[in-house]
Amino acid sequence: MQHSPAMFVGDALAMDFLNSIATPVDTPVDWLDDGEGLLSWLEQAGLVPADALRGIRARARPGELDEMADQARQLREWFRGFVRERKGRKLPADALLALEPLNRLLDRDERFSRIVGGGDGLELQTLRRWRSPEALLLPVAETLATFVCEESFSDVKACEGPACTLMFVDHTRGHKRRWCSMALCGNRAKQAAHRQRLKAR
C-alpha cells in the first residue's frame, strides 16, 4: 500500500509523532497503520537511515513490522495522554514518575561511538546498532525524551480547528499561534469568519 506523505507541522518532531494520526480533511489518516507505514514515517522524519530501514525490512519475520507499528501506536497514545494532561503549563516535578515507561524503552538502546573522518579531520560520531525491528522505536523514544527535557510544556497547544486533532509547540514570538497550519485550519477559520460576516449583513 502506498502511504501519503506525512504531515510535519508540530514544530517539534515529538509533536509530529503525535500528529502521525490526524484528520487533515475529513477522513482520519494513520501514518503508522502498519509496518510499511511505520518505516515510511521514520524515513520521512529522518529518524532512521535508509540503509538501516532496508536491512530491517529484509531481516524482519512475517508480521514483525506490523507488531512494531502496533507498539509505535501504543507509545504514541501513551505520550499523547502524557502531553494532553500537562500541556499549557510548566511540567511539574512529579512528571518523572509518569515517564517511567519511556525510561524503560530508552534502557534498551544500543548506541556506541566511533571516530570517523570529517570535513576538516576526525570527529566522534554516535551511532546505533539496528539489529532488529525493535530498534525502530529507540530514536522515537529519544525524540520524546529530548522534547520532555528541552521544550516548555507551557508552549504546547492543540490546534483550534473544530475538528482538528493536531498539536504543536508555539515558538512564535508572542505565543499567539492558534492553528496547526494557516494553509489548513487557519484558512478554514478565515473562510468561516468571512461567511459569518456575510450572513451578519
Tens-digit pLDDT profile for residues 162-199: 888 899 999 999 999 988 887 778 676 566 554 566 66
Query: What is the model's pTM?
Result: 0.87
Mean pLDDT score of the chain: 89
Residues 160, 179 contacting (CB under 8 angstroms): yes
128-169 confidence digits (pLDDT tens): 989 899 999 999 999 999 999 999 999 999 998 888 889 999
User: Is pLDDT above 90 for 126?
Assistant: no
Q: How many CA atoms lie within 13 A of 26 on its CB side?
A: 0
Domain residue ranges of the chain, discontinuous segments joined by +: 13-200
16-45 confidence digits (pLDDT tens): 999 999 876 678 899 999 999 999 999 999
Span 77-95, mean pLDDT? Answer: 93
User: Is pLDDT above 60 for 86?
Assistant: yes
Name the band, by pLDDT with cuts 50, 70 and 90, for residue 98: very high
User: Is pLDDT above 60 for 1?
Assistant: no
Of 141, 4, 129, 15, nearest in space to 71 by CA: 141
CATH tag, 13-200:
1.10.3300.10
For residue 124, CA distances in Å to 112, 116, 132, 138 come to 10, 6, 25, 21
Name the band, by pLDDT with cuts 50, 70 and 90, for residue 10: very high
Span 67-80, mean pLDDT? Answer: 97
Confidence (pLDDT) at 146: 96
Confidence (pLDDT) at 102: 96
Confidence (pLDDT) at 2: 59
Contacts by 103-109, CB closer than 8 A, 24 or more apart: 103/145, 105/75, 105/137, 105/138, 105/141, 106/138, 106/141, 106/142, 106/145, 108/134, 108/138, 109/138, 109/141, 109/142
Span 92-112, mean pLDDT? Answer: 92
